[in-house]
Amino acid sequence: MQGDFPGGREVIRRALMKRSVSEAAIPIMISSISEGTLKQYSTCYKKFWSYCIGNNIDMFSYNLNTYLNFLLEEINKNLSYSSNNIYRSALNLIFSVDNKDEIIIKRFIKDTYNTIPPQPKYAITWSLDPVLKYLASLFPLENLSIDKLTIKLVTLMAITTAHRVQTLSKITLNNIFRSTDKIEIRISEKIKTSGPNKLQPTLVFPYFKEKLEICVATTIYFCIQKTSLQRGKINNIILTHKKPFHAASCQSISRWIKAGLKNSGINIERFSSHSVRHASTSSALRCGVNVNTIKNTAGWSLESEVFLKFYNRPVGEPNEIFANTILKLALEK
């Protein structure tokens, strides 16, 4: 096996062909894998491809020792427990692993958990106050450029729904329903949390008449009108800012949210756009919102422990507060 890495889809195709899977069934099997998952699998396959070339091993011939030695090499490069599980899923897709070997592999992964336990990305989060204050300053809406209007829209939507940017990128005109007191948006396209017997999310934005400067429903409606000429036949409501206009990607939306955080004074070297999900849900819990309501709104199942383990975080305070407080005690004596 020599040459450049052919890509994740091709690796899966070749592996399934070797396992005598019908050629007609292979495209269906590959299409069932989400783009996000395929991207993660492709990262594993590319590394496994290089590992096999470097050790003169046939990538498509299953061997337990090859499987475990590859994972061990990646662990020694600080592969996390969660990534280890992703790699296991990726390799199990292209190999036919019997039950006896699967028990060994599971034990190996479990030992990895004990050696390198998963850690939350953030130990603390940021306060929503400066972000909401900045977004409120972007008013009146008719005075905003399309880029600032979009930054305001996506950041407000991320804060008030606690959903991933992938969900925001799937919002379409035909799934927006207006009433006198709110706007409801149904997400009909497949997202990360989609699956059999799982309901697709519905985003609800009440008209916040107490402070129109941060009313998401008003901003959504205005944005639709403002971008009608640029939209043409595009059904998505979040568009790029420059010609040729098209539906914004997850990467673009993440970049705009990050710009909103930066303009609010949030340290974007430390916090990514995804940190909005942490800040929003943590703030809701501190304000007394029921945990089940938070889970339901943000797209977690009621049985999920992800929010409490990895997302509920205290608001960070500058490190110097502790030292300054201690030193000021001396001035009082």
Task: Kindly state whether residues 183 and 145 are assigned to the same domain.
Answer: yes
Q: Residue 176: inside a domain, yes or no?
A: yes
pLDDT at 212: 93
The least confident of 48-57, 110-119, 229-238, 256-265 is: 110-119
Q: How many domains does the chain have?
A: 2
Task: Kindly state whether residues 59 and 197 are assigned to the same domain.
Answer: no
Segment 205-219, tens digit of pLDDT: 999 999 999 999 999
Give CA–CA dist 138/214, Å, rounded. 9
Task: Kindly state whether residues 65 and 41 are assigned to the same domain.
Answer: yes
**Model confidence band, residue 322 (pLDDT cutoffs 50, 70, 90):** low
**Model confidence band, residue 258 (pLDDT cutoffs 50, 70, 90):** very high
Residue 185: Cβ-neighbour burial (10 angstroms; 0-12, 13-18, 19+): buried
Provide mean pLDDT across the span 81-92: 89
Task: Kindly state whether residues 192 and 234 are assigned to the same domain.
Answer: yes
Q: Residue 320: inside a domain, yes or no?
A: no
**Model confidence band, residue 116 (pLDDT cutoffs 50, 70, 90):** low
Task: Kindly state whether residues 232 and 163 are assigned to the same domain.
Answer: yes
Is residue 222 a contact partner of residue 237, using CB atoms and an 8 Å limit? Answer: no
CATH of the domain at 173: 1.10.443.10
Q: Residue 236: inside a domain, yes or no?
A: yes
Mean pLDDT computed over every residue of the chain: 89
Task: Kindly state whether residues 139 and 266 are assigned to the same domain.
Answer: yes
Residue with tokens 């990538």: 59
Q: Please, which residues have CB within 8 angstroms of residue 64's CB and are 6 or more apart in sequence?
A: 101, 104, 105
Phi then psi for 197, rounded to 5 degrees? 65, 15
pLDDT at 305: 84
Of 85, 115, 145, the position where a domain reaches its end is: 115
Task: Kindly state whether residues 146 and 261 are assigned to the same domain.
Answer: yes
pLDDT at 332: 61
pLDDT at 329: 63
Q: Residue 288: inside a domain, yes or no?
A: no
Longest Cα–Cα distance in the chain: 83
pLDDT at 306: 82
pLDDT at 320: 54
**Model confidence band, residue 313 (pLDDT cutoffs 50, 70, 90):** confident
Is residue 246 a contact partner of residue 240, using CB atoms and an 8 Å limit? Answer: yes
**Model confidence band, residue 325 (pLDDT cutoffs 50, 70, 90):** low
Give the residue among 45, 54, 58 at the shortest CA–CA distance from 5.
45
CATH of the domain at 38: 1.10.150.130
Q: Residue 47: inside a domain, yes or no?
A: yes
Provide mean pLDDT across the span 304-313: 82
pLDDT at 206: 93
**Model confidence band, residue 122 (pLDDT cutoffs 50, 70, 90):** confident
Task: Kindly state whether residues 258 and 161 are assigned to the same domain.
Answer: yes
Task: Kindly state whether residues 168 and 261 are assigned to the same domain.
Answer: yes
Of 236, 259, 275, the position where a domain reaches its end is: 275
Segment 89-103, tens digit of pLDDT: 999 999 989 999 999
Q: Is the pLDDT of residue 1 over 70?
A: no
Provide the 3-class DSSP secondary structure of residue 104: helix
Which domain range does residue 16 map to?
8-115
Task: Kindly state whether residues 136 and 109 are assigned to the same domain.
Answer: no
Provide mean pLDDT across the span 224-244: 92
Task: Kindly state whether residues 153 and 249 are assigned to the same domain.
Answer: yes
Q: Residue 40: inside a domain, yes or no?
A: yes
Of 275, 303, 321, the position where a domain reaches its end is: 275
Q: Residue 104: inside a domain, yes or no?
A: yes
Q: What percentage of the chain carries pLDDT values higher than 90?
A: 65
Q: Name which residue leads in pLDDT, 80 or 173.
A: 173
Q: Is the pLDDT of residue 319 over 90?
A: no
Task: Kindly state whether residues 14 and 140 are assigned to the same domain.
Answer: no
- Measured CA distances, 161 to 203, 257, 272, 302 (Å): 7, 14, 17, 17
Q: Residue 329: inside a domain, yes or no?
A: no
Q: Name which residue leads in pLDDT, 139 or 319.
A: 139
Give CA–CA dist 34/272, Å, rounded. 23
Segment 128-163, tens digit of pLDDT: 999 999 999 999 999 999 999 999 999 999 999 999
